[in-house]
Amino acid sequence: MVPITTLHYLVTAAALFVLGVIGVLTRRNVVIVLMSIELILNAVNLNLVAFSRIWGLHGQIFAIFVITDAAAEAAVGLGILIAFFRNKETVNVDEVDLLKW
């Protein structure tokens, strides 16, 4: 069998990233869009930790900071969602059009 190199991890991370981008661009449900954003952040984390195996622990530290920021962003994003849901009773992104002409 081919020994597992860094490239394998990078390809996995890239595939996860593309899946997350598809989720963000094609879904209507806001919660699923937010979860796809978490997928993207996870792909970036996997990339960072895969490279930290070659070049030192800085990648892991950055990954920890990314996880922290993902928590903060998820909290704020879901707060916005709740605030909007209280207004308009919908969870679809294309119905968030109060400021449209």
Partner 1 sequence: MQPAAVATPFFFYMLSGLTLLSGVLVITRKNPVHSALALILGLLAQAGLYLMLYAPFVAGVQIILYAGGIMVLFLFVIMLVNIERSQKEEQFNRQWVVGIVAAAALGVLFVLVYIKGHDLFPPHSFVPPENSNTQQVGVMLYGQYLFAFEIASLLLLVAIIGAVVMAKKRI
Task: Compute the residue count for the chain.
Answer: 101
Asked if 88 touches partner 1 (CB under 8 A), the answer is no
- Footprint of partner 1 on residues 58-87 (CB under 8 A)? 58, 60-61, 63-65, 67-76, 78-83, 85-86
Question: Does residue 25 contact residue 88 with C-beta atoms inside 8 Å?
Answer: no
Q: Is 70 helix (H, G, I), strand (E, B) or coil?
A: helix
- Footprint of partner 1 on residues 22-61 (CB under 8 A)? 22-23, 25-29, 31-32, 34-36, 38-39, 42, 45-46, 49-58, 60-61
Asked if 96 touches partner 1 (CB under 8 A), the answer is no
Cα-based torsion angle of the residue sequence 57, 41, 74, 32 in order, rounded to the nearest 10 degrees: -160
Asked if 92 touches partner 1 (CB under 8 A), the answer is yes
